[in-house]
Amino acid sequence: MSEAPVSALVAWWGTAWLRGHASADDLLDAFAATGFRHVVAAPGDPSSDLLLALADLRRAGATGVGAAFPVPGDLVGLGGPAAFNAAALDGGEAVVAAEAGVGWTPVQVGAAVEWTVHPAQRRQLPDVGEADRALRTTLLSAAQRLADLDVARWQPDVADALMNLRHPVAPDVPPGVPPRCVDLATRALQAIGIAGLAVATDGGAVTAAEIDARRAALVPLDRAGRHALTAACSPEVWPPS
């Protein structure tokens, strides 16, 4: 996940539009740049485009859209009900407009991203400061453990990513996202990307113990990254900008 996932984009740009920080043209240009057409529909209903769906959220009382990046056993950013949680787990991401009681889950179908509308309940979210501290601590620990396991030998791409930690590339975000959250999202995407590269192959592992040692370093890194990205993409917990 070297680039921001689509739910992060909807959370940031949807919130910016709802709060008047970005125009409709700005929002549409940002999503046109993804190369996908975005459509939104409740089950059994005709689909509408993204801007019309956001307007529906505004009429329902939403002033922001947040994101969630759950995995089995860690439903970070979700508050239920069970059907919505299951759909979010299937795709690994979702957005939530808590004030409107609505969530969307994405599926890529050809050149389109189809968002399905679900009822959604209010959720518990990581605190931005706590997520930031946890990510910093976990990233340092994981980098050291991976170095001890000779990451450069079994997965050079991971070693390169670790070397690039001091040169982060921030995602494009609209006005209104607090700078602290932009920085947090940048580092969270780095962490998730490193974990994803490292689990893509067992590389030069020769023993089950070595594989387990690698995964022991990567599971906390992925978790800390997802929690940090969820906080950075959830206006309910943003600090004042």
Task: Sketch the domain layout of the chain as residue ranges.
Answer: 6-119, 128-235
pLDDT over 80 at 217, yes or no: no
**What is the C-alpha to C-alpha distance for residues 47 and 28, in angstroms, rounded to an integer?**
17
pLDDT digits (tens, 9 = 90+) for 6-26: 999 999 999 999 999 999 999
The residues near 71 (Cβ < 8 Å, ≥ 6 apart) are 89, 92, 222, 226
Contact 34, 186 (CB under 8 A): no
DSSP string, 43-56: TTSPPEEHHHHHHH
Environment class of residue 165 by beta-carbon count within 10 Å: exposed (0-12), middle (13-18) or buried (19+)? Answer: middle
pLDDT confidence of residue 100: 96
Per the prediction, the chain carries an average pLDDT of: 88
Contact 229, 131 (CB under 8 A): no
Environment class of residue 72 by beta-carbon count within 10 Å: exposed (0-12), middle (13-18) or buried (19+)? Answer: exposed
In this structure, what token pair is assigned to residue 131? 């997520």
pLDDT confidence of residue 1: 42
pLDDT digits (tens, 9 = 90+) for 115-166: 999 999 999 999 999 999 999 999 888 877 777 766 655 556 655 655 565 6
Mean pLDDT for the stretch of residues 219-226: 93
More confident residue, 190 or 96: 96
In this structure, what token pair is assigned to residue 97? 């407009």
